[in-house]
Protein backbone atom coordinates (compact mmCIF):
# COMPACT_ATOMS: atom_id res chain seq x y z
CA UNK A 1 0.00 0.00 0.00
CA UNK A 2 1.46 3.34 -1.04
CA UNK A 3 1.04 6.39 1.15
CA UNK A 4 0.38 9.10 -1.45
CA UNK A 5 2.25 9.70 -4.71
CA UNK A 6 5.71 8.98 -3.31
CA UNK A 7 6.38 5.52 -1.85
CA UNK A 8 7.77 5.45 1.68
CA UNK A 9 10.51 3.15 2.95
CA UNK A 10 7.79 1.03 4.58
CA UNK A 11 6.13 0.55 1.18
CA UNK A 12 9.36 -0.81 -0.31
CA UNK A 13 9.94 -3.09 2.67
CA UNK A 14 6.40 -4.50 2.59
CA UNK A 15 6.65 -5.09 -1.16
CA UNK A 16 10.04 -6.81 -0.78
CA UNK A 17 8.77 -8.94 2.11
CA UNK A 18 5.83 -10.15 0.02
CA UNK A 19 8.11 -11.10 -2.88
CA UNK A 20 11.28 -12.17 -1.07
CA UNK A 21 10.09 -13.08 2.44
CA UNK A 22 12.59 -15.88 3.07
CA UNK A 23 15.58 -14.21 1.42
CA UNK A 24 18.27 -12.52 3.51
CA UNK A 25 17.85 -8.74 3.72
CA UNK A 26 20.49 -7.84 6.33
CA UNK A 27 23.73 -9.39 7.52
CA UNK A 28 25.60 -8.20 10.61
CA UNK A 29 28.42 -10.49 11.65
CA UNK A 30 26.89 -13.96 11.99
CA UNK A 31 23.32 -12.67 12.25
CA UNK A 32 21.07 -12.78 9.20
CA UNK A 33 17.62 -11.22 8.96
CA UNK A 34 15.18 -12.11 6.19
CA UNK A 35 12.88 -9.62 4.49
CA UNK A 36 9.93 -11.26 6.24
CA UNK A 37 11.56 -10.95 9.67
CA UNK A 38 12.59 -7.36 8.98
CA UNK A 39 9.01 -6.50 7.99
CA UNK A 40 7.61 -8.13 11.16
CA UNK A 41 10.19 -6.43 13.40
CA UNK A 42 9.61 -2.99 11.87
CA UNK A 43 5.84 -3.40 12.21
CA UNK A 44 6.29 -4.37 15.88
CA UNK A 45 8.38 -1.24 16.49
CA UNK A 46 5.78 0.93 14.74
CA UNK A 47 2.93 -0.55 16.80
CA UNK A 48 4.87 -0.13 20.06
CA UNK A 49 5.61 3.52 19.23
CA UNK A 50 1.94 4.14 18.41
CA UNK A 51 0.82 2.47 21.64
CA UNK A 52 3.28 4.69 23.54
CA UNK A 53 1.55 7.77 22.12
CA UNK A 54 4.20 8.67 19.56
CA UNK A 55 2.72 10.52 16.59
CA UNK A 56 3.95 11.88 13.27
CA UNK A 57 6.58 14.56 13.82
CA UNK A 58 7.67 13.28 17.24
CA UNK A 59 11.36 12.54 17.61
CA UNK A 60 12.45 9.17 18.93
CA UNK A 61 15.76 7.38 19.39
CA UNK A 62 15.96 3.73 18.40
CA UNK A 63 19.10 1.75 19.15
Domain parsing of the chain, residue ranges:
1-63
- Domain 1-63: CATH architecture, name and number where available: 3-Layer(aba) Sandwich (3.40)
Report the alpha-carbon distance of residue 2 to residue 36 in Å, rounded. Answer: 18
**Model confidence, pTM:** 0.76
CA dihedral 1, 35, 23, 6 (to 10 degrees): 40
pLDDT tens, N- to C-terminus, the chain (63 residues): 556 678 888 899 999 999 999 999 999 999 999 999 999 999 999 999 999 999 989 999 978
Query: Helix, strand, or coil here: 12?
Result: helix
Report the alpha-carbon distance of residue 20 to residue 34 in Å, rounded. Answer: 8
pLDDT of residue 6: 82
Amino acid sequence: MMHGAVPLLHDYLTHSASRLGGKVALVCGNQRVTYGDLDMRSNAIAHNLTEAGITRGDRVVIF
